[in-house]
Structure 1
């Protein structure tokens, strides 16, 4: 698998993780996508490891998906090299509808193609 195909597959799984309603499936996806000591940074917080990642994503899901009715959608994965890549996403009521929020994540992968660093930038 080429690096860009692998990065696109990771991006698809990553964005779908934020929409996952089942807590066990969400935890399983976290353990599949992230290294055990992965770090996720936003402008307002940093979380590390599976448990903190699970709380972070569950809180976002409860607030934006379950309560507000939005979903997260992959916009683009076009820029990557040497284990790092950027993915663009947006939040909207449905795919193709007007976004209410959007952002870019910069991710670094380890030698096992699992996320070790995730920097999220919201526009």
Structure 2
């Protein structure tokens, strides 16, 4: 099996977050993800500070499995794309090292085209080049 191009993978990963149709979104998730894949998010610093103030010693959010990830993507789409008028795009800097792909992404206002945020993504792939672990660092 030939290795998946890292930029193609990054572009498909970003695209799943902005697909408006639920069936198309699920199909994209099933193509990208291993069934037991895990998505781990380091919340922005403001959320980490609130969590620390509440006595949490670690503030990491995670979803595991296709259904949980579908819920995560759908809620993100609803909040950021549909309601806030934002979209996401890859920074076109994806690189692969063995079974890992690293890339940056940007959050963009659909009204102004202004970059209003972004982050760093590190994906760990299984033997079929599906995502088995996704480490998301918004604001990085």
Runs of 4+ in structure 1 deviating by more than 4 angstroms, as ranges, are none
Which residue of 2 is the match for residue 11 of structure 1?
10
Do the aligned partners of residues 88 and 2 (structure 1) sit closer, same or farther apart at CA in structure 2, a change above 3 Å counting? Answer: farther
Which residue of 2 is the match for residue 62 of structure 1?
78
Note the residue ranges of structure 1 that are not aligned, 5 or more in a row: none
| 1:50-77 CA-partner distances (Å, limit 9, x unpaired) | 0000000000000000001100011133
| 1:70-105 CA-partner distances (Å, limit 9, x unpaired) | 0001113343211101111011124x9321111010
Note the residue ranges of structure 2 that are not aligned, 5 or more in a row: 43-59
Distance, in Å, in 2 between the alignment partners of 1:2 and 1:93 is 36
Which residue of 2 is the match for residue 88 of structure 1?
104
Which residue of 2 is the match for residue 24 of structure 1?
23
Which residue of 2 is the match for residue 74 of structure 1?
90
Matched, 1:98 2:114: yes
Specify the SS of the correspondent of 2:18.
coil
Distance, in Å, in 1 between the alignment partners of 2:19 and 2:114 is 21
Larger CA Rg, structure 1 vs 2:
2
Task: Indicate the larger mover: 19-28 or 69-78.
Answer: 69-78
Taking structure 1 as the reference length, what is the TM-score of the superposition? 0.91
Taking structure 2 as the reference length, what is the TM-score of the superposition? 0.80
Specify the SS of the correspondent of 1:29.
helix
Count of aligned pairs between the two proteins: 121
